Structure 1
Protein backbone atom coordinates (compact mmCIF):
# COMPACT_ATOMS: atom_id res chain seq x y z
CA UNK A 1 0.00 0.00 0.00
CA UNK A 2 1.23 3.47 -0.89
CA UNK A 3 0.70 5.49 2.28
CA UNK A 4 0.55 8.75 0.32
CA UNK A 5 3.17 10.60 2.37
CA UNK A 6 6.23 10.57 0.10
CA UNK A 7 7.95 13.94 0.23
CA UNK A 8 6.51 14.94 3.58
CA UNK A 9 8.68 15.77 6.59
CA UNK A 10 8.72 14.45 10.14
CA UNK A 11 10.36 15.06 13.49
CA UNK A 12 10.86 11.83 15.42
CA UNK A 13 12.01 12.37 18.99
CA UNK A 14 14.42 9.99 20.74
CA UNK A 15 15.00 8.09 17.52
CA UNK A 16 18.63 6.98 17.53
CA UNK A 17 17.45 3.55 18.75
CA UNK A 18 14.45 1.64 20.04
CA UNK A 19 10.87 2.53 19.25
CA UNK A 20 11.72 5.99 17.95
CA UNK A 21 14.26 4.51 15.54
CA UNK A 22 11.65 2.02 14.34
CA UNK A 23 9.24 4.86 13.58
CA UNK A 24 11.92 6.88 11.79
CA UNK A 25 12.83 3.85 9.68
CA UNK A 26 9.21 3.16 8.73
CA UNK A 27 8.56 6.77 7.74
CA UNK A 28 11.79 6.99 5.77
CA UNK A 29 10.82 3.82 3.90
CA UNK A 30 7.72 5.70 2.74
CA UNK A 31 9.79 8.56 1.36
CA UNK A 32 9.42 10.90 4.33
CA UNK A 33 12.35 13.19 5.18
CA UNK A 34 13.05 12.76 8.88
CA UNK A 35 14.72 14.73 11.63
CA UNK A 36 16.11 12.19 14.07
CA UNK A 37 17.05 12.98 17.62
CA UNK A 38 19.05 11.60 20.53
CA UNK A 39 21.45 12.60 23.27
CA UNK A 40 24.41 10.44 22.19
CA UNK A 41 25.84 12.27 19.15
CA UNK A 42 27.91 9.36 17.83
CA UNK A 43 25.01 6.91 18.02
CA UNK A 44 22.65 9.48 16.50
CA UNK A 45 24.88 10.25 13.54
CA UNK A 46 25.40 6.54 12.90
CA UNK A 47 21.64 5.95 12.94
CA UNK A 48 21.05 8.89 10.57
CA UNK A 49 23.66 7.58 8.14
CA UNK A 50 22.14 4.10 8.18
CA UNK A 51 18.59 5.37 7.58
CA UNK A 52 19.79 7.70 4.82
CA UNK A 53 21.72 4.93 3.05
CA UNK A 54 18.90 2.42 3.37
CA UNK A 55 16.02 4.60 2.20
CA UNK A 56 17.55 7.42 0.16
CA UNK A 57 15.76 10.26 1.93
CA UNK A 58 16.99 13.35 3.72
CA UNK A 59 17.83 12.51 7.33
CA UNK A 60 18.86 15.33 9.66
CA UNK A 61 20.38 14.40 13.03
CA UNK A 62 19.72 16.82 15.90
CA UNK A 63 21.45 16.05 19.17
CA UNK A 64 19.67 17.17 22.32
CA UNK A 65 17.37 16.28 25.19
CA UNK A 66 13.75 17.08 24.29
CA UNK A 67 13.04 17.51 27.99
CA UNK A 68 15.04 20.74 27.87
CA UNK A 69 14.14 24.03 26.23
CA UNK A 70 17.43 23.97 24.33
CA UNK A 71 16.78 20.47 23.00
CA UNK A 72 13.32 21.39 21.76
CA UNK A 73 14.61 24.60 20.20
CA UNK A 74 17.27 22.69 18.28
CA UNK A 75 14.67 20.33 16.83
CA UNK A 76 12.39 23.17 15.79
CA UNK A 77 15.29 25.10 14.28
CA UNK A 78 16.02 22.11 12.06
CA UNK A 79 12.36 21.73 11.03
CA UNK A 80 9.93 24.34 12.36
CA UNK A 81 6.91 23.14 10.38
CA UNK A 82 6.87 19.33 10.16
CA UNK A 83 3.96 17.43 8.66
CA UNK A 84 4.40 14.80 11.37
CA UNK A 85 5.60 14.85 14.94
CA UNK A 86 6.38 11.65 16.80
CA UNK A 87 6.70 12.43 20.50
CA UNK A 88 8.90 9.98 22.35
CA UNK A 89 11.16 9.91 25.38
CA UNK A 90 12.66 7.37 27.74
CA UNK A 91 10.31 6.19 30.45
CA UNK A 92 10.98 6.69 34.15
CA UNK A 93 12.91 4.13 36.15
CA UNK A 94 10.48 1.72 37.87
CA UNK A 95 9.97 2.59 41.55
CA UNK A 96 7.44 1.85 44.23
CA UNK A 97 5.15 4.71 45.18
CA UNK A 98 6.80 5.39 48.56
CA UNK A 99 10.21 5.55 46.88
CA UNK A 100 9.17 8.39 44.58
CA UNK A 101 10.10 11.88 45.73
CA UNK A 102 9.01 15.30 44.53
CA UNK A 103 11.93 15.69 42.12
CA UNK A 104 11.20 12.25 40.64
CA UNK A 105 7.62 13.27 39.94
CA UNK A 106 8.68 16.55 38.34
CA UNK A 107 11.29 14.84 36.16
CA UNK A 108 8.71 12.31 34.96
CA UNK A 109 6.20 15.02 34.16
CA UNK A 110 8.79 17.08 32.27
CA UNK A 111 9.96 14.13 30.19
CA UNK A 112 6.70 12.30 29.50
CA UNK A 113 4.02 15.00 29.59
CA UNK A 114 5.25 18.58 29.39
CA UNK A 115 7.89 18.14 26.65
CA UNK A 116 5.49 16.52 24.14
CA UNK A 117 2.81 19.12 24.86
CA UNK A 118 5.23 21.98 24.23
CA UNK A 119 6.52 20.47 20.99
CA UNK A 120 2.97 19.89 19.84
CA UNK A 121 2.03 23.49 20.58
CA UNK A 122 4.99 24.67 18.52
CA UNK A 123 4.13 22.70 15.36
CA UNK A 124 0.32 22.86 15.40
CA UNK A 125 -0.20 26.27 13.75
CA UNK A 126 1.58 25.26 10.54
CA UNK A 127 -0.21 21.90 10.46
CA UNK A 128 -3.58 23.59 10.76
CA UNK A 129 -2.70 26.13 8.08
CA UNK A 130 -1.70 23.49 5.52
CA UNK A 131 -4.58 21.27 6.64
CA UNK A 132 -2.43 18.23 7.21
CA UNK A 133 -0.81 17.07 10.39
CA UNK A 134 -0.08 13.82 12.18
CA UNK A 135 0.92 13.77 15.83
CA UNK A 136 1.88 10.44 17.35
CA UNK A 137 2.64 10.05 21.04
CA UNK A 138 4.57 6.97 22.08
CA UNK A 139 3.23 6.35 25.56
CA UNK A 140 2.92 3.00 27.35
CA UNK A 141 0.55 0.19 28.20
CA UNK A 142 0.86 1.58 31.74
CA UNK A 143 -1.61 4.31 30.73
CA UNK A 144 -4.50 1.83 30.66
CA UNK A 145 -3.09 -0.99 32.80
CA UNK A 146 -1.08 0.66 35.60
CA UNK A 147 1.29 -1.35 37.75
CA UNK A 148 2.54 -0.50 41.28
CA UNK A 149 6.18 -0.07 40.28
CA UNK A 150 5.32 2.12 37.27
CA UNK A 151 3.41 4.94 38.98
CA UNK A 152 5.55 7.70 37.45
CA UNK A 153 5.04 6.40 33.93
CA UNK A 154 1.30 5.90 34.43
CA UNK A 155 0.79 9.29 36.03
CA UNK A 156 2.71 11.41 33.54
CA UNK A 157 1.56 9.58 30.43
CA UNK A 158 -2.09 9.41 31.49
CA UNK A 159 -1.95 13.18 31.92
CA UNK A 160 -0.50 13.54 28.42
CA UNK A 161 -3.19 11.23 27.04
CA UNK A 162 -5.99 13.30 28.58
CA UNK A 163 -4.60 16.60 27.33
CA UNK A 164 -4.08 15.23 23.83
CA UNK A 165 -7.57 13.75 23.72
CA UNK A 166 -9.10 17.14 24.44
CA UNK A 167 -6.89 18.76 21.81
CA UNK A 168 -7.81 16.16 19.19
CA UNK A 169 -11.37 17.53 18.98
CA UNK A 170 -10.10 21.04 18.31
CA UNK A 171 -7.74 20.12 15.49
CA UNK A 172 -9.78 17.42 13.72
CA UNK A 173 -11.48 19.92 11.33
CA UNK A 174 -8.04 20.84 10.00
CA UNK A 175 -7.09 17.25 9.05
CA UNK A 176 -4.72 17.10 12.00
CA UNK A 177 -4.88 13.82 13.88
CA UNK A 178 -3.49 12.89 17.28
CA UNK A 179 -3.02 9.27 18.28
CA UNK A 180 -1.14 7.38 20.96
CA UNK A 181 0.84 4.17 20.56
CA UNK A 182 0.88 2.02 23.69
CA UNK A 183 3.70 -0.54 23.49
CA UNK A 184 3.98 -3.58 25.69
CA UNK A 185 7.06 -5.77 25.47
CA UNK A 186 8.53 -4.62 22.16
CA UNK A 187 12.01 -6.16 22.01
CA UNK A 188 14.25 -3.11 22.42
CA UNK A 189 16.96 -2.05 24.86
CA UNK A 190 14.18 -0.87 27.18
CA UNK A 191 13.03 -4.45 27.71
CA UNK A 192 16.53 -5.55 28.60
CA UNK A 193 16.65 -2.72 31.14
CA UNK A 194 13.24 -3.70 32.52
CA UNK A 195 14.39 -7.31 32.86
CA UNK A 196 17.42 -6.16 34.84
CA UNK A 197 15.16 -4.09 37.08
CA UNK A 198 12.78 -7.02 37.61
CA UNK A 199 15.68 -9.32 38.38
CA UNK A 200 16.84 -7.01 41.18
CA UNK A 201 13.34 -6.24 42.46
CA UNK A 202 12.04 -9.82 42.52
CA UNK A 203 15.22 -11.72 43.32
CA UNK A 204 15.21 -13.75 40.10
CA UNK A 205 17.81 -14.21 37.38
CA UNK A 206 17.92 -12.03 34.29
CA UNK A 207 17.02 -15.05 32.17
CA UNK A 208 13.99 -15.75 34.36
CA UNK A 209 12.94 -12.11 34.05
CA UNK A 210 13.16 -12.31 30.26
CA UNK A 211 11.09 -15.49 30.27
CA UNK A 212 8.47 -13.72 32.38
CA UNK A 213 8.32 -10.92 29.83
CA UNK A 214 7.47 -13.41 27.10
CA UNK A 215 4.97 -15.21 29.33
CA UNK A 216 3.16 -11.93 30.04
CA UNK A 217 2.27 -11.50 26.35
CA UNK A 218 -0.71 -13.35 24.93
CA UNK A 219 1.16 -14.03 21.68
CA UNK A 220 3.94 -15.67 23.73
CA UNK A 221 6.64 -13.62 22.06
CA UNK A 222 8.06 -10.13 22.25
CA UNK A 223 7.02 -7.63 19.63
CA UNK A 224 9.36 -6.64 16.81
CA UNK A 225 10.32 -2.96 16.48
CA UNK A 226 9.41 -2.99 12.82
CA UNK A 227 5.85 -4.00 13.71
CA UNK A 228 5.63 -0.97 15.95
CA UNK A 229 7.14 1.32 13.30
CA UNK A 230 4.69 0.12 10.65
CA UNK A 231 1.75 1.06 12.85
CA UNK A 232 3.23 4.51 13.38
CA UNK A 233 3.71 4.99 9.64
CA UNK A 234 0.11 4.02 8.88
CA UNK A 235 -1.27 6.45 11.45
CA UNK A 236 0.87 9.15 9.81
CA UNK A 237 -0.46 8.26 6.37
CA UNK A 238 -2.92 9.95 4.06
CA UNK A 239 -5.30 7.03 4.71
CA UNK A 240 -5.56 7.61 8.45
CA UNK A 241 -7.25 10.99 8.47
CA UNK A 242 -10.41 9.56 10.04
CA UNK A 243 -8.55 8.05 13.01
CA UNK A 244 -7.84 10.44 15.87
CA UNK A 245 -7.81 10.58 19.64
CA UNK A 246 -7.15 6.85 19.88
CA UNK A 247 -4.98 4.70 22.12
CA UNK A 248 -3.56 1.90 19.99
CA UNK A 249 -2.22 -1.03 21.98
CA UNK A 250 0.68 -2.84 20.34
CA UNK A 251 1.00 -5.75 22.71
CA UNK A 252 0.47 -9.11 21.05
CA UNK A 253 -3.20 -9.20 22.06
CA UNK A 254 -2.50 -8.73 25.76
CA UNK A 255 -4.72 -5.76 26.66
CA UNK A 256 -7.33 -7.33 29.00
CA UNK A 257 -10.29 -4.95 28.72
CA UNK A 258 -13.07 -4.35 26.18
CA UNK A 259 -12.54 -0.58 25.88
Structure 2
Protein backbone atom coordinates (compact mmCIF):
# COMPACT_ATOMS: atom_id res chain seq x y z
CA UNK A 1 0.00 0.00 0.00
CA UNK A 2 1.23 3.46 -0.93
CA UNK A 3 0.78 5.49 2.26
CA UNK A 4 0.93 8.77 0.35
CA UNK A 5 3.74 10.27 2.40
CA UNK A 6 6.72 9.75 0.11
CA UNK A 7 9.00 12.80 0.24
CA UNK A 8 7.67 13.99 3.61
CA UNK A 9 10.06 14.76 6.47
CA UNK A 10 9.91 13.23 9.93
CA UNK A 11 11.60 13.57 13.28
CA UNK A 12 11.60 10.28 15.17
CA UNK A 13 12.83 10.66 18.74
CA UNK A 14 14.77 7.93 20.53
CA UNK A 15 14.99 5.89 17.35
CA UNK A 16 18.35 4.13 17.46
CA UNK A 17 16.77 0.95 18.82
CA UNK A 18 13.53 -0.68 19.87
CA UNK A 19 10.12 0.67 18.96
CA UNK A 20 11.47 4.05 17.87
CA UNK A 21 13.82 2.30 15.44
CA UNK A 22 10.90 0.27 14.09
CA UNK A 23 8.88 3.43 13.50
CA UNK A 24 11.80 5.06 11.68
CA UNK A 25 12.26 2.01 9.46
CA UNK A 26 8.57 1.80 8.55
CA UNK A 27 8.39 5.50 7.71
CA UNK A 28 11.53 5.22 5.59
CA UNK A 29 10.01 2.29 3.71
CA UNK A 30 7.06 4.60 2.96
CA UNK A 31 9.52 7.09 1.43
CA UNK A 32 9.79 9.53 4.33
CA UNK A 33 13.09 11.35 4.90
CA UNK A 34 14.18 11.10 8.51
CA UNK A 35 15.91 12.77 11.39
CA UNK A 36 16.66 10.01 13.87
CA UNK A 37 17.85 10.43 17.43
CA UNK A 38 19.66 8.64 20.22
CA UNK A 39 22.39 9.01 22.80
CA UNK A 40 24.95 6.59 21.34
CA UNK A 41 26.42 8.45 18.37
CA UNK A 42 28.19 5.49 16.80
CA UNK A 43 25.11 3.30 17.03
CA UNK A 44 22.97 6.10 15.62
CA UNK A 45 25.28 6.60 12.63
CA UNK A 46 25.18 2.87 11.91
CA UNK A 47 21.37 2.82 12.08
CA UNK A 48 21.14 5.85 9.77
CA UNK A 49 23.40 4.15 7.23
CA UNK A 50 21.40 0.93 7.43
CA UNK A 51 18.07 2.69 6.86
CA UNK A 52 19.47 4.77 3.99
CA UNK A 53 20.92 1.73 2.25
CA UNK A 54 17.76 -0.34 2.64
CA UNK A 55 15.25 2.35 1.62
CA UNK A 56 17.04 5.09 -0.33
CA UNK A 57 15.68 7.95 1.78
CA UNK A 58 17.80 10.63 3.43
CA UNK A 59 18.50 9.97 7.10
CA UNK A 60 20.12 12.56 9.40
CA UNK A 61 21.39 11.22 12.74
CA UNK A 62 21.23 13.64 15.68
CA UNK A 63 22.97 12.35 18.80
CA UNK A 64 21.34 14.23 21.68
CA UNK A 65 19.20 13.86 24.78
CA UNK A 66 15.72 14.82 23.60
CA UNK A 67 14.75 15.61 27.20
CA UNK A 68 17.02 18.66 27.16
CA UNK A 69 16.51 22.03 25.52
CA UNK A 70 19.78 21.59 23.62
CA UNK A 71 18.64 18.21 22.33
CA UNK A 72 15.33 19.57 21.09
CA UNK A 73 17.06 22.51 19.43
CA UNK A 74 19.41 20.12 17.64
CA UNK A 75 16.53 18.04 16.29
CA UNK A 76 14.67 21.09 15.03
CA UNK A 77 17.82 22.55 13.51
CA UNK A 78 18.13 19.38 11.44
CA UNK A 79 14.43 19.51 10.45
CA UNK A 80 12.86 22.90 11.28
CA UNK A 81 9.36 22.11 9.99
CA UNK A 82 8.70 18.37 10.07
CA UNK A 83 5.59 16.93 8.47
CA UNK A 84 5.69 14.08 10.97
CA UNK A 85 6.79 13.97 14.60
CA UNK A 86 7.11 10.72 16.53
CA UNK A 87 7.62 11.41 20.21
CA UNK A 88 9.45 8.70 22.09
CA UNK A 89 11.70 8.60 25.12
CA UNK A 90 12.98 6.24 27.76
CA UNK A 91 10.85 5.92 30.87
CA UNK A 92 11.67 5.87 34.57
CA UNK A 93 12.88 2.49 35.86
CA UNK A 94 10.65 0.11 37.82
CA UNK A 95 10.62 1.42 41.40
CA UNK A 96 8.31 1.44 44.42
CA UNK A 97 6.65 4.85 44.57
CA UNK A 98 7.78 5.23 48.20
CA UNK A 99 11.35 5.46 46.92
CA UNK A 100 10.64 8.34 44.53
CA UNK A 101 11.88 11.73 45.68
CA UNK A 102 10.79 15.01 44.14
CA UNK A 103 13.82 15.18 41.85
CA UNK A 104 13.04 11.75 40.37
CA UNK A 105 9.39 12.66 39.86
CA UNK A 106 10.26 15.92 38.11
CA UNK A 107 12.71 14.06 35.85
CA UNK A 108 10.07 11.47 34.97
CA UNK A 109 7.50 14.14 34.14
CA UNK A 110 10.06 15.94 31.99
CA UNK A 111 10.95 12.80 30.05
CA UNK A 112 7.48 11.48 29.33
CA UNK A 113 5.19 14.52 29.43
CA UNK A 114 6.93 17.88 29.20
CA UNK A 115 9.41 16.96 26.45
CA UNK A 116 6.82 15.80 23.90
CA UNK A 117 4.62 18.79 24.71
CA UNK A 118 7.57 21.12 24.12
CA UNK A 119 8.28 19.62 20.69
CA UNK A 120 4.60 19.72 19.73
CA UNK A 121 4.44 23.42 20.69
CA UNK A 122 7.16 24.12 18.14
CA UNK A 123 5.89 22.07 15.20
CA UNK A 124 2.11 22.23 15.41
CA UNK A 125 1.42 25.65 13.87
CA UNK A 126 3.70 25.13 10.85
CA UNK A 127 1.95 21.79 10.23
CA UNK A 128 -1.43 23.51 10.37
CA UNK A 129 -0.29 26.23 8.00
CA UNK A 130 0.87 23.62 5.47
CA UNK A 131 -2.35 21.64 5.79
CA UNK A 132 -0.64 18.40 6.77
CA UNK A 133 0.79 17.06 10.00
CA UNK A 134 1.00 13.78 11.83
CA UNK A 135 2.06 13.54 15.47
CA UNK A 136 2.36 10.13 17.11
CA UNK A 137 3.29 9.76 20.77
CA UNK A 138 4.64 6.43 21.97
CA UNK A 139 3.21 6.05 25.46
CA UNK A 140 2.42 2.74 27.19
CA UNK A 141 -0.35 0.25 27.91
CA UNK A 142 0.07 1.32 31.54
CA UNK A 143 -1.91 4.47 30.71
CA UNK A 144 -4.94 2.16 30.59
CA UNK A 145 -3.66 -0.72 32.71
CA UNK A 146 -1.41 0.50 35.54
CA UNK A 147 1.50 -1.66 36.66
CA UNK A 148 2.76 -1.25 40.20
CA UNK A 149 6.30 0.10 40.17
CA UNK A 150 5.77 1.98 36.92
CA UNK A 151 3.56 4.58 38.59
CA UNK A 152 5.71 7.55 37.57
CA UNK A 153 5.84 6.44 33.95
CA UNK A 154 2.10 5.75 33.93
CA UNK A 155 1.28 9.09 35.53
CA UNK A 156 3.48 11.14 33.21
CA UNK A 157 2.21 9.42 30.07
CA UNK A 158 -1.41 9.66 31.23
CA UNK A 159 -0.82 13.35 31.84
CA UNK A 160 0.47 13.73 28.29
CA UNK A 161 -2.60 11.91 26.97
CA UNK A 162 -5.02 14.17 28.82
CA UNK A 163 -3.08 17.34 27.97
CA UNK A 164 -3.18 16.65 24.24
CA UNK A 165 -6.76 15.37 24.03
CA UNK A 166 -8.28 18.81 23.61
CA UNK A 167 -5.40 20.16 21.53
CA UNK A 168 -5.86 17.39 18.96
CA UNK A 169 -9.37 18.64 18.22
CA UNK A 170 -8.22 22.20 17.56
CA UNK A 171 -6.17 21.26 14.48
CA UNK A 172 -8.20 18.38 13.08
CA UNK A 173 -9.68 20.67 10.41
CA UNK A 174 -6.15 21.51 9.23
CA UNK A 175 -5.38 17.86 8.40
CA UNK A 176 -3.14 17.63 11.47
CA UNK A 177 -3.63 14.64 13.75
CA UNK A 178 -2.32 13.76 17.20
CA UNK A 179 -2.55 10.15 18.31
CA UNK A 180 -0.93 7.86 20.86
CA UNK A 181 0.26 4.28 20.48
CA UNK A 182 0.24 2.27 23.71
CA UNK A 183 2.63 -0.70 23.50
CA UNK A 184 2.30 -3.76 25.64
CA UNK A 185 5.13 -6.26 25.89
CA UNK A 186 7.30 -6.09 22.76
CA UNK A 187 10.47 -8.03 22.08
CA UNK A 188 12.91 -5.14 22.62
CA UNK A 189 15.80 -4.39 24.95
CA UNK A 190 13.35 -2.83 27.41
CA UNK A 191 11.61 -6.17 27.87
CA UNK A 192 14.85 -7.59 29.27
CA UNK A 193 14.42 -5.23 32.21
CA UNK A 194 11.01 -6.75 32.86
CA UNK A 195 12.54 -10.23 32.75
CA UNK A 196 15.30 -9.21 35.15
CA UNK A 197 12.77 -7.81 37.61
CA UNK A 198 10.77 -11.02 37.36
CA UNK A 199 13.86 -13.15 37.94
CA UNK A 200 14.78 -11.11 41.01
CA UNK A 201 11.24 -11.34 42.39
CA UNK A 202 10.63 -15.06 41.77
CA UNK A 203 14.07 -16.65 41.61
CA UNK A 204 13.13 -18.29 38.31
CA UNK A 205 15.40 -18.34 35.27
CA UNK A 206 14.89 -16.06 32.30
CA UNK A 207 13.13 -18.57 30.07
CA UNK A 208 10.65 -19.46 32.79
CA UNK A 209 9.89 -15.80 33.52
CA UNK A 210 9.47 -15.06 29.81
CA UNK A 211 7.16 -18.05 29.30
CA UNK A 212 5.03 -17.12 32.30
CA UNK A 213 4.65 -13.55 31.09
CA UNK A 214 3.85 -14.55 27.51
CA UNK A 215 1.28 -16.99 28.86
CA UNK A 216 -0.66 -14.12 30.43
CA UNK A 217 -1.06 -12.43 27.03
CA UNK A 218 -4.06 -13.70 25.04
CA UNK A 219 -1.91 -13.75 21.88
CA UNK A 220 0.54 -15.99 23.80
CA UNK A 221 3.54 -14.10 22.46
CA UNK A 222 5.38 -10.81 22.67
CA UNK A 223 4.86 -8.13 20.05
CA UNK A 224 7.23 -7.81 17.09
CA UNK A 225 8.66 -4.28 16.65
CA UNK A 226 7.76 -4.29 12.92
CA UNK A 227 4.10 -4.60 13.90
CA UNK A 228 4.42 -1.49 15.98
CA UNK A 229 6.38 0.45 13.36
CA UNK A 230 3.87 -0.26 10.63
CA UNK A 231 1.00 0.87 12.86
CA UNK A 232 2.87 4.13 13.41
CA UNK A 233 3.44 4.55 9.67
CA UNK A 234 -0.27 4.04 8.97
CA UNK A 235 -1.21 6.71 11.53
CA UNK A 236 1.15 9.04 9.67
CA UNK A 237 -0.34 8.21 6.27
CA UNK A 238 -2.79 10.01 4.01
CA UNK A 239 -5.42 7.48 5.05
CA UNK A 240 -5.37 8.38 8.74
CA UNK A 241 -6.53 11.99 8.52
CA UNK A 242 -9.84 11.09 10.19
CA UNK A 243 -8.16 9.46 13.20
CA UNK A 244 -7.16 11.92 15.91
CA UNK A 245 -7.06 12.11 19.68
CA UNK A 246 -7.01 8.33 19.90
CA UNK A 247 -5.11 5.78 21.99
CA UNK A 248 -4.16 2.75 19.89
CA UNK A 249 -3.48 -0.18 22.21
CA UNK A 250 -1.05 -2.80 20.89
CA UNK A 251 -0.87 -5.39 23.64
CA UNK A 252 -1.97 -8.75 22.19
CA UNK A 253 -5.26 -8.47 24.09
CA UNK A 254 -3.70 -8.15 27.55
CA UNK A 255 -5.95 -5.31 28.69
CA UNK A 256 -9.33 -7.02 29.30
CA UNK A 257 -11.39 -3.87 28.77
CA UNK A 258 -14.21 -3.61 26.21
CA UNK A 259 -13.27 0.01 25.48
The TM-score range, normalised by the shorter chain, is over 0.9
Distance 1:209 1:176 in 2: 42
Distance 2:213 2:13 in 1: 26
Measured against aligned partners, the alpha-carbon deviations of 1:37-80 in whole angstroms (never above 9, x if no partner) come to: 00000110000000000000000000100100000000000001
Q: What SS class does the counterpart of residue 6 from structure 1 fall into? A: coil
Aligned to 1:249: 249
Query: Which 10-residue stretch deviates more, 94-103 or 66-75?
Result: 94-103
Aligned to 1:134: 134
Distance 1:131 1:202 in 2: 53
Structure 1 residue 70 corresponds to structure 2 residue 52:
no
In the TM superposition, what are the counterparts of 1:211-250 in structure 2 within 5 Å? 211-250=211-250
Measured against aligned partners, the alpha-carbon deviations of 1:175-226 in whole angstroms (never above 9, x if no partner) come to: 1100000000111001012211222234433222212221221100111000
What is the CA distance between 1:229 and its match in structure 2?
0.3
Q: What SS class does the counterpart of residue 142 from structure 1 fall into? A: helix
Distance 1:17 1:43 in 2: 9
5+ residue gaps, structure 2, are none
User: Aligned residue pairs: how many?
Assistant: 259
Aligned to 1:145: 145
Measured against aligned partners, the alpha-carbon deviations of 1:78-111 in whole angstroms (never above 9, x if no partner) come to: 0010000000001110111212111111111010
What is the CA distance between 1:254 and its match in structure 2?
1.9
TM-score of the pair, normalised by structure 1: 0.98
Structure 1 residue 167 corresponds to structure 2 residue 167:
yes
Q: What SS class does the counterpart of residue 25 from structure 1 fall into? A: helix
Q: What SS class does the counterpart of residue 136 from structure 2 fall into? A: strand
Structure 1 residue 102 corresponds to structure 2 residue 102:
yes
Measured against aligned partners, the alpha-carbon deviations of 1:112-170 in whole angstroms (never above 9, x if no partner) come to: 00000000111111101001000000000000000111101111000000011111011
Measured against aligned partners, the alpha-carbon deviations of 1:227-248 in whole angstroms (never above 9, x if no partner) come to: 0000000000000000000000
Q: What SS class does the counterpart of residue 171 from structure 2 fall into? A: helix
Distance 2:179 2:92 in 1: 21
Structure 1 residue 41 corresponds to structure 2 residue 30:
no
Aligned to 2:114: 114
RMSD of equivalent CA atoms: 0.9
Query: Which 10-residue stretch deviates more, 44-53 or 205-214?
Result: 205-214
What is the CA distance between 1:253 and its match in structure 2?
1.9
Distance 1:232 1:172 in 2: 18
5+ residue gaps, structure 1, are none
What is the CA distance between 1:252 and its match in structure 2?
1.1
Distance 1:201 1:100 in 2: 20
Distance 2:30 2:92 in 1: 32
Aligned to 1:86: 86
Query: Which 10-residue stretch deviates more, 179-188 or 93-102?
Result: 93-102
Query: Which 10-residue stretch deviates more, 129-138 or 202-211?
Result: 202-211
Aligned to 1:53: 53
Distance 1:43 1:150 in 2: 28
Query: Which 10-residue stretch deviates more, 17-26 or 144-153?
Result: 144-153
